[in-house]
Amino acid sequence: MNFKYLIAGLLFYSLAFPSLAFADADKAFEAANRGDYETALKEWLIDANQGDANSQYNLGVMHDYGYGVPENNAEAVKWYRLAADQGYADGQANLGFMYENGYGVPENDAEAVKWYRLAADQGNANSQYNLGVMYDNGDGVPKNYAEAVKWFRLAADQGNATGQANLGAMYAKGDGVPENYITAYMWYNLAAALGLELANDGKEIIREKMTPAQIAEAQRLSAEWYEDHQ
């Protein structure tokens, strides 16, 4: 496994690591990528115990997924929280996820929302998407489609495929925004281009309700968005 990215797309390693102040960050990162978890754990533990948030987060990941240690959700939560309490966005994002599905902590949607919001406010796209889902479903917050659209859009504009697909769905249904098949198709199209298969399903459903001219306009808007966000 390449340790640069995790299953949820969260960054495993931050270039903001203060390499001069702590142990060799590159050594730990390279060790993890080649499967030498013992070395990675040793190096990150030194830094984490000195208060480095990136290393605390990485230790949380190791315990969360069982890399070099037995999988232990409670231990993962401990390290995520230490990073999160320092304002580390990825730690906040993962801590929110642990509270949402009750991994290592009692399930608590309101607490999940709290941590997602802190990370989302720092621009964390996964947390922006997750916060949108919480508002869409009314989990931990009152159901609010307009607020869901807001967060899906922020994630979508960062190229988050699930955020794009969900924003497309909101436009297709007219939830929180006026119903607009052209805009819905545009967002589905962008998400599908990133490999999200469910977005193709959404496209096909609304395609039957659209004229060829509308589809062409949606495709033009997709290309325009893509060019603007390169």
Domain 24-122: CATH superfamily is Tetratricopeptide repeat domain (1.25.40.10)
The answer, yes or no, to whether residue 5 has pLDDT greater than 50, is: no
The answer, yes or no, to whether residue 174 has pLDDT greater than 80, is: yes
Beta bridge partners of 11: 5
The answer, yes or no, to whether residue 123 has pLDDT greater than 90, is: yes
pLDDT on residue 28 = 87
The answer, yes or no, to whether residue 24 has pLDDT greater than 70, is: no
What's the distance, Cα to Cα, between the start and end of the chain in Å?
28
> Nearest to residue 181, comparing CAs of 203, 200, 155, 161?
203
What's the rounded Cα separation, in Å, for the pair 50 and 20?
Answer: 13
Query: Domains of the chain: which residue ranges?
Result: 24-122, 139-230
What's the rounded Cα separation, in Å, for the pair 14 and 147?
Answer: 30
> Nearest to residue 129, comparing CAs of 119, 138, 141?
119
Structure-model confidence comparison of residues 19 and 81, the more confident one: 81
pLDDT on residue 70 = 96
What angle separates helix 125-137 from helix 89-101, to the nearest 10 degrees? 30
